[in-house]
Amino acid sequence: MSNLDWAVLICTLLAIVVYGVYKSRGAQNIQGYLLGNQSMPWYSVCLSVMATQASAITFLSAPGLAYSTGMSFVQFYFGLPLAMIVLCITFVPIFHRLKVYTAYEYLEQRFDLNTRALTAFLFLIQRGLSTGITIYAPSIILSTILNINTTYTTIFIGGLVIFYTVYGGTKAVSYTQMLQMTIIFCGLFAAGVVVVHLLPSSVGLGKAISIAGKMGRTNAIDFKFDWNNQYTVWSGLIGGFFLQLSYFGTDQSQVGRYLTGSSVGQSRMGLLMNGLVKIPMQFLILLIGVLVFAFYQYNRPPVFFNSFELNKLQNSSYQPELKHIEAEYTDIFNKKQQQLQQLETALDQKDQAGIDQQRILLKEADEQAKSVRKKATDLMLKNDPKADINDNNYIFLSFVTKYLPKGLIGLLIAIIFLASMGSTASALNSLASTSVIDIYKRLINKQATDQQYLNASRWATILWGGVCILMALYASKIGNLIEAVNILGSYIYGTILGVFLVAFYLKKVDGKAVFIAAILTEIAVCVCGYYKVVAYLWLNVIGCLLVVVLSLLLQQILKPVQHKKGQP
Amino acid sequence: MKDPKKDPELPPFVKSWQQFYRLLILWLGVLILLFYLFTKYFE
């Protein structure tokens, strides 16, 4: 990185930390600290929920996913608009009317303390683990740039986020996220323009997508129904719907965002606008990954995108073998150039037979390149059994640092930091609010003053920050980060959603039945997930439906009790 | 009687929340169709 890039990066990081500290001055009571006095307009709610979901992981992993496997991941978000509608009809009016701090407060009003504590506990586990992955994602940026181990960068980034979050209440988080999303949209646009500009003069945007498409990277839609295919229209619409409904309806990191809305209407508008914008935004992020793939058809990509691991191998006794692999990789790339030329000609002449022929040859070359890459990763493991051999998350990053102009590299890296800080901040804020409101205030210290609860929230943020850093240190052993977060969520979200749906719609079911049903379901979901019975998105459906069905059955067996308040 | 046009809880551009919900479902359908055409055109 140039001095200009470093200056841009450092100034932005300092500005965000100072901004967070400055904004926290206003949050002097627990209501202001956790709910921002419920004063935010719809556009702030919208950008805040988007920024919470779209972390640095989105920015790093999604283009890498498109580069490796294509655009099918976009289908994952098809259930989101439908989930927004259900949220606006059911969840939002109830949460606002009952003036709750956390979603789980409602469950005690509807069922009992056990159910509230169980769902809060499941949330704390899931969010605590996934926030660790969120912290790890930007730390790999520094490790690539500075060529040092991710352990040190994870601790540095995590420490910075904790410092900023402890001082920044939820209102500060929301205002910061508005700015972050604006910069992210600008950065995405700039990255897209630059990658098209870097393509050979004979290759425009359309031809670049065509070439990537011929090599299987524009597979945005798959209508085939397959239980074991991660991303199809059906898994996205059905499984995705349940996942998004549970994420936005029962995950405090999102509930806390739209509860800052000044009214039911403002919270609804924020969520519905998110439903309008999210899928096109995700499509564009994946399209950038496809364009990067097209770019690397004309510019030789590194045999492995994680330069830290590659340098380690180059400096080892396996250097001669690596040189041989590099030569083989270059050979395949050079041969591919001729096929690309012929494909371009066939595309210009609309010669379908020629296109089909070159497509087969290019796919073969792609497979050969993959097998050479496999040789390199095998060598890495031989050299160091603990080596990180998944470089998906480094693909976009490697492109940014090597090919983008000076200044823009610093800005794009700063954007990744901003995105990560925003989502991590709201996650830590929600972990703190659930720990304090649902556990500390309800079970440990019921009579404390407002100031004591505020202090407890700050200490809880520090504690959870530490836990998340520890989790982040293990994140390098997990494959694609964005998938890891979603898989983790699928183990727990379905159960929590099932509990909420029973609370909203099955008035006959009481707390004891739903509590036992939730525990049995969680065990069943973990077994299904462990043995990979179905693709992970379906775990949300199974979890949710199982809680509903078991609750009804158990209610028949157990003696019904009088309904509690809080029912819709 | 309350004038619905002045009701702060109503969404902009449409007359009711139900209309907004229908619009969002329509938007999802259009996106799936466009992505399908995109996949078919470039594959």
Secondary structure string (H, E, C) spanning A35-101: HHHHCECHHHHHHHHHHHHCCHHHHHHHHHHHHHHCCHHHHHHCCHHHHHHHHHHHHHHHHHHHCCC
Q: Are A48 and A177 in contact (CB under 8 A)?
A: yes
Q: Do B32 and A212 touch (CB under 8 A)?
A: no
User: In a mutagenesis test of the A interface, which of B2, B28, B41 is the best target, namely the one with the most A β-carbons within 10 Å?
Assistant: B28
The answer to whether the Cβ–Cβ distance between B28 and A219 falls below 8 Å is no
Counted across chains A and B, CB pairs separated by less than 8 A come out at 64
Place of tokens 């769902």: A119
Q: Which two tokens stand for residue A335?
A: 């041969």
Check CB contact under 8 Å for B42 and A88.
no
**Residue A227, number of CB atoms within 10 A of its CB:** 11
Going from the C-alpha of A245 to that of each of A264, A496, A500, the distances in angstroms are: 18, 10, 10
A81 has a chain B CB within 8 A of its CB = yes
More confident residue, B3 or A200: A200
pLDDT at B5: 44
Q: Between chains, do B39 and A214 touch, taking CB under 8 Å as contact?
A: no
Q: Is A261 helix (H, G, I), strand (E, B) or coil?
A: strand
The predicted pLDDT at position A463 comes to 93
Chain A touched by B17 (CB under 8 Å): yes
* ipTM of the complex as predicted: 0.87
Cα atoms in the Cβ-side hemisphere of radius 13 Å centred on A296: 25
Structure tokens at A52: 């919470």
Whether B31 has its CB under 8 Å from any CB of chain A: the answer is yes
CB-CB: which of B8, B21, B38 is closest to A263? B8
Task: Give the minimum alpha-carbon distance from B21 to chain A in angstroms, rounded to a whole number.
Answer: 6
| Min distance A493 CA to chain B CA atoms (Å) | 23
Contact at CB, A88 and B21, closer than 8 angstroms: yes
pLDDT confidence bin for B2, thresholds 50/70/90: very low
The model's pTM is: 0.82
pLDDT in tens, chain A (568 residues): 788 888 888 887 777 777 767 766 665 677 777 777 777 888 889 988 988 887 766 777 888 889 988 899 999 999 999 999 999 998 899 988 888 888 899 999 888 899 999 999 988 988 888 888 777 777 776 676 666 677 877 787 778 778 777 776 677 677 777 777 777 788 778 888 888 999 888 888 888 998 888 888 888 898 888 777 778 899 899 888 988 888 898 888 899 889 988 889 999 999 999 999 999 999 999 999 999 999 999 999 999 988 878 888 888 888 899 999 999 999 998 888 888 888 888 888 888 888 888 888 888 888 898 899 999 999 998 888 877 787 887 888 888 888 888 888 888 888 777 777 778 888 888 899 899 998 998 889 888 888 888 889 889 989 999 988 888 887 766 656 656 777 777 888 889 989 999 998 888 888 889 999 999 999 998 888 888 777 777 888 889 899 999 999 998 888 655 555 444 4
CB A410 within 8 A of CB A4: yes
Least CB-CB distance to A220: which of B8, B9, B35? B35
**pLDDT at residue B36 in the model:** 94
A70 in reach of chain B (CB within 8 A):
no
pLDDT value at residue A165: 76
Answer yes or no: do B39 and A219 touch at CB < 8 A. Answer: yes
Structure token digits, residue A458: 């700050």
